[in-house]
Structure 1
């Protein structure tokens, strides 16, 4: 690897404080992603996802850029990547899973 430095070597050169800041930011990014980021994290190309959904790659690209879509469309997109979609309403004293769009039985997720 002439002229290249591994990431672990670079990380080890960072101060402990910088490593901690990077770790915290990394965890935050893992918790929030756009659809394209989720697809990439699942190691799927747009072409592979399009084949699973039986649509073309351009349609996947358009879906990833949308800021508004039907819940059913989003659910199929997530399921095609092997996940499940949950809709949760967050209130100051609790979180409630909305079941209108999935299986019956709303449940309180946390208080």
Structure 2
């Protein structure tokens, strides 16, 4: 029988635990849309119900590499998040404000 993760973790050196924690944080900072949905504990069916679409539409969105920002925003908001668009440069990061109200003018 395999050991519990907590027991294996106890046997790791502090350096190994720190390294594992950094790797985990790095993985959480960037992930595909379908993994984000799963990490939030949502099924495609539940997300489809929130967005008032059929489940295959969610599968299609999650496979896309190009989509409207408003589509992505709706998807993220249905998961309980907030979409922010930012540009990264060697000097720093800039939040792009053009998209903060996109889609709200039509709905709001």
Query: When the two structures are superposed, what TM-score results if normalisation uses the length of structure 1?
Result: 0.82
Q: Give 3-state SS (helix, strand or coil) of 1:19's partner.
A: helix
Distance between the aligned counterparts of 1:7 and 1:94, measured in 2? 38
From 56, 78, 81, give the equivalent of 2:79. Answer: 81
2:49 aligned residue: 51
Shift of 1:36: 1.1
RMSD: 1.7
Structure 2 Cα separation of the partners of residues 95 and 28 of structure 1: 18
The structure 2 residue matched to 1:9, chosen from 3, 7, 10, is 7
CA distance in 2, matches of 1:91, 1:4: 46
Q: Does 2:18 match 1:20? A: yes
Alignment correspondent of 2:98: 100
> What is the CA distance between 1:92 and its match in structure 2?
2.3
Unaligned runs of 5+ in 2: 103-108
Q: Render the CA deviation track for 1:67-95: whole Å, top value 9, x for unaligned.
A: 11111100000010011101111222232
Question: Which fold has the larger relative contact order, with Cα–Cα distance below 8 Å and residues 6 or more apart in sequence?
Answer: 2
SS at match of 1:75: helix
Q: Which residues of structure 1 form unaligned runs of 5+?
A: 105-111
Bigger helix fraction:
2
